[in-house]
Amino acid sequence: MLDIAIIGAGPGGLATALRLHQKGFRPKIYEAAPELKPLGVGVDIKVYGTREITEMGLLDEFRKISVEAKDSIFYTGHGQEIFAERCGKHIGYDHEQRFVHRGTLQFMLRDAVIARLGPNCITYGARFKHADQGETGVTIHFEPHEGAPQAARADVVIGVDGVHSAVRKQFLPDAMRTHYSGIAMYRGVTVMPPYGNGGMILHIGDPLRQGSLIVYPIADNIDGKGSQLVNWVCEQSGKPKGIEDWNVRIQPDDIAHVFDEVKLDFLDVSKMIQEAREVYIYPLIDIDPLERWSFGRVTLLGDAAHAMYPRGGNGVCQALVDARVIAEKLSEIADPVAALEAYEQARRESVNRLVIANRGEGPEVVRRLVEEKSGGKPFRHIDEMIPRQEVEALFMEYHRMAGMKRPDDQVTAGAFKPVFTEETMRKTAFATDIR
Ligand SMILES: Cc1cc2nc3c(=O)[nH]c(=O)nc-3n(C[C@H](O)[C@H](O)[C@H](O)COP(=O)(O)OP(=O)(O)OC[C@H]3O[C@@H](n4cnc5c(N)ncnc54)[C@H](O)[C@@H]3O)c2cc1C
């Protein structure tokens, strides 16, 4: 049986270990951090991500730590509703869409890895430095660290070490530069009573004037008194790039009043921001699509292969899909080099399209269209701005593009002028085959 080394114990590395184990392998994980901490804020697990988690046998655990998405609602900068649609099973998909804290998800996956593969399968403090490969295997060298190994041997190495991947640096040194959107993300979490029906993702604000705010709950009953942990992300253009580190904290003062004009009868947006438990700033960055992921017995997976703008949970969900596919290929194809090439073949192009498409607005385009039409002023009725049927068509089209055709999709192709045309797709939509 192949000895497989996974570099990185993020959600991608841990999911890969679980998928390989399901195929009969016993991989080892090497993680740079001396211990895992529940870092990050919220992630939105789309229906295809929940399907992966279900197939890993973790749906019950996942339900306990996450919140079910019920409704997705779009508002103008004044808090007027533009469009609402139901989520996940509520609209007929086979799986739920759920919201979760990244760190809690990572811990759930880690616990499952330890339960299935034993406590020694993860080595902490093992920071990948470089790998030497020959005909029969790979020697992995680690940065010196007390208690950590200096080197390890494997038949296959999977680099799942994030956006600044050291594995990528060795094999694609010219592909280390990140691509900055010109937008800063303020990412915060607030402990507060549930708003609305307790499962609503809100898309608020005039993207041209105020920036964009996305709000969703990621944990129920966080304080034993029924409060939820609510995640919010505010995107502001023209802000300083900041440090490319997920853990840089700031005070909420900079942005607390940007959304003062938003009047929602069920949520005080400014108060939510002001009372945040923690706020981080992170530049909206990704890496340009890679021309190659696999190099003999070494390959890349997750953010190391395709760091994308962290919008819509696709970063995590795509890593979960990678994990399934690499395990399938390594179990089906005896030659590990050919298996890694087959994995890349199955995944790279479609994920690269998603990286590019993710640079666009996706369905958020609807807010910009309405603000342009209304001149940023309140309106009497949304139908005067954009007919309901056209918005429906836009969303149906978006779901088709995303490879998640909406189950109630009955809009006749060509009935409306498409927003996500081939021409505009690279700028405004997702485009990938999810499975
Ligand atoms: C601290 C942190 C916070 C994040 N917060 C969010 C968030 O709030 N929202 C969001 O959408 N996405 C967030 N992300 C990104 C998100 O986790 C990924 O997009 C997605 O889960 C894919 O995961 P991954 O396992 O490929 O990469 P990552 O989650 O980045 O995990 C990479 C792992 O590799 C380890 N590592 C790095 N270098 C080495 C090395 N040389 N040797 C060994 N191990 C190494 C890291 O310590 C980390 O554990 C965060 C990532 C990190 C690292």
Site to probe by mutation for ligand 1, drawn from 31, 281, 322 as the one with most ligand atoms within 8 Å of Cβ, is: 31
Cβ-contact 298, 159 below 8 angstroms: yes
In a domain, 298, yes or no: yes
Cβ-contact 66, 100 below 8 angstroms: yes
Nearest to 217 by CA among 321, 132, 97: 97
395 and 340 within one domain: no
In a domain, 68, yes or no: no
In a domain, 305, yes or no: yes
User: In angstroms, what is the span from residue 300 Cα to ligand 1's centroid?
Assistant: 13
The CA-CA-CA angle for residues 91, 93, 95, to 5°, reads: 120
Nearest Cα residue to atom 37 of ligand 1: 161
Cα–Cα distance measured from residue 153 to residue 140, given in angstroms and rounded to the nearest whole number: 6
| Per-residue pLDDT reduced to its tens digit, 100-149 | 999 999 999 999 999 999 999 999 999 999 999 998 999 999 999 888 89
How far does CA 25 lie from the centroid of its chain? Answer: 27
23 and 122 within one domain: yes
Site to probe by mutation for ligand 1, drawn from 150, 230, 246 as the one with most ligand atoms within 8 Å of Cβ, is: 246
Nearest to 200 by CA among 230, 227, 222: 230
Cβ-contact 197, 70 below 8 angstroms: yes
The share of the chain scoring above pLDDT 70, in percent, equals 92
The CA-CA-CA angle for residues 285, 289, 290, to 5°, reads: 120
Predicted local distance difference test score (pLDDT) of residue 317: 94
Nearest Cα residue to atom 14 of ligand 1: 40
Q: Please, which residues have CB within 8 angstroms of residue 170's CB and are 6 or more apart in sequence?
A: 130, 131
Could you identify the atom of ligand 1 that is nearest to the CA of residue 280? 8
User: In angstroms, what is the span from residue 362 Cα to ligand 1's centroid?
Assistant: 24
Q: CATH code at 108?
A: 3.50.50.60
From the CB of 36, is ligand 1 less than 6 Å away? Answer: no
Could you identify the atom of ligand 1 that is nearest to the CA of residue 305? 26
133 and 32 within one domain: yes
The domain containing residue 18 runs over which residues?
4-38+103-177+290-359
The CA-CA-CA angle for residues 319, 322, 325, to 5°, reads: 155
In a domain, 70, yes or no: no
Which CA distances in Å does 97 have to 52, 365, 409, 433? 12, 21, 18, 18
From the CB of 310, is ligand 1 less than 6 Å away? Answer: yes
In a domain, 218, yes or no: no
Q: Please, which residues have CB within 8 angstroms of residue 243's CB and are 6 or more apart in sequence?
A: none
Predicted local distance difference test score (pLDDT) of residue 369: 87
From the CB of 162, is ligand 1 less than 6 Å away? Answer: yes
In a domain, 274, yes or no: no
Count of CA atoms in the C-beta half-sphere (13 A) of 120:
0
From the CB of 9, is ligand 1 less than 6 Å away? Answer: yes
User: In angstroms, what is the span from residue 162 Cα to ligand 1's centroid?
Assistant: 5
Could you identify the atom of ligand 1 that is nearest to the CA of residue 167? 41
From the CB of 188, is ligand 1 less than 6 Å away? Answer: no
In a domain, 143, yes or no: yes
417 and 294 within one domain: no
Predicted local distance difference test score (pLDDT) of residue 251: 85
Cβ-contact 429, 357 below 8 angstroms: yes
111 and 28 within one domain: yes
Cα–Cα distance measured from residue 269 to residue 282, given in angstroms and rounded to the nearest whole number: 21
110 and 13 within one domain: yes
Mean pLDDT of the chain: 89
| Per-residue pLDDT reduced to its tens digit, 58-92 | 999 999 999 999 999 999 989 999 999 999 999 99
Cβ-contact 92, 407 below 8 angstroms: yes
Q: Please, which residues have CB within 8 angstroms of residue 85's CB and are 6 or more apart in sequence?
A: 71, 72, 91, 395
Q: Kindly report which listed range (4-13, 83-92, 368-377) carries the lowest average pLDDT score.
A: 368-377
Cα–Cα distance measured from residue 278 to residue 350, given in angstroms and rounded to the nearest whole number: 35
From the CB of 303, is ligand 1 less than 6 Å away? Answer: yes
419 and 330 within one domain: no
Alpha-helix residue ranges (DSSP H) falling in 223-283: 253-256, 269-274
Using the predicted structure, report yes or no on whether residue 285 has a pLDDT greater than 60: yes
34 and 109 within one domain: yes
User: In angstroms, what is the span from residue 429 Cα to ligand 1's centroid?
Assistant: 25
From the CB of 264, is ligand 1 less than 6 Å away? Answer: no
The beta strand positions in 88-220, using DSSP E, are 98-101, 122-123, 128-133, 138-142, 151-154, 156-159, 178-192, 200-204, 212-219
24 and 113 within one domain: yes
3-state SS class at 348:
helix
157 and 112 within one domain: yes
In a domain, 211, yes or no: no
3-state SS class at 329:
helix
pTM: 0.92
Site to probe by mutation for ligand 1, drawn from 316, 317, 351 as the one with most ligand atoms within 8 Å of Cβ, is: 316
Nearest Cα residue to atom 12 of ligand 1: 310
The share of the chain scoring above pLDDT 90, in percent, equals 64
155 compared with 428, residue with greater pLDDT: 155
Q: How many structural domains are present in the chain?
A: 2
Could you identify the atom of ligand 1 that is nearest to the CA of residue 44? 11
From the CB of 20, is ligand 1 less than 6 Å away? Answer: no
Cβ-contact 361, 237 below 8 angstroms: no
392 and 316 within one domain: no
33 and 107 within one domain: yes
Reading the block at residue 357, the tokens are 């498409």
Which CA distances in Å does 40 have to 22, 93, 111, 349? 28, 28, 18, 28
| Per-residue pLDDT reduced to its tens digit, 294-336 | 999 999 999 999 999 887 678 999 999 999 999 999 999 999 9
